[in-house]
Amino acid sequence: MSGARESGTFAEALAAAREKGLEATLSVDENTSVEVAFDFNRLKGIQNTESLVCSAQVIEGGKLGLATSTKPKDESGLIHKARDLSVYGAPADYSFPAPVSVKKPEVYSPDVVDLSVEKMIEMGEDLISFISKLHPDGNGGARIVKSVRRESIGNTKGLDASWERTTF
């Protein structure tokens, strides 16, 4: 993970919004995934994907402004865009939540992070071999996918939470 949510930039953007009297929420979602694909009983390809999505919500004048970007480290600009768009937003007769103490979800496995592409290929080959033994005339396909996601959310009321999760 690239660490696009720099705590200084993230916290500074929320502090600046708070000083302007804005209610704002920022979220950052980073995802890295690896997919090993087999088609017609052969390795078709290996795909590495990285994505970053930053989102801001601002309540100003009783209206909600939303903005989303894939540009890293531009949290202040994103809040500014959401503020500009709030004049066109839906009515917001609520406020963003203050932080509460909760247990972090256990959704992270270092085994998934450490899983090598070579091992994923080996697993796919084993699956294709198994399918071929069951149906020698068939053409099998398989996908082995792992992903690591880091999600963060903060707001001008002091909410500051982040977690990592893995899927396989």
CA dist., res. 48 & res. 78, Å (int): 27
Taking each helix axis as running N to C, give the angle between helix 75-85 and helix 7-19, from 0 to 180 degrees, rounded to the nearest 10: 40
98-143 pLDDT tens trace: 999 888 888 999 999 999 999 999 999 999 999 889 988 888 889 9
CA dist., res. 28 & res. 52, Å (int): 7
138: its two tokens: 């068939």
CA dist., res. 49 & res. 150, Å (int): 14
Q: Are 102 and 49 in contact (CB under 8 A)?
A: no
- Check whether 72 has a pLDDT greater than 50: yes
The pLDDT confidence band at residue 19, using thresholds 50, 70 and 90, is very high
CA dist., res. 116 & res. 97, Å (int): 40
CA dist., res. 79 & res. 138, Å (int): 54
pTM score of the predicted model: 0.81
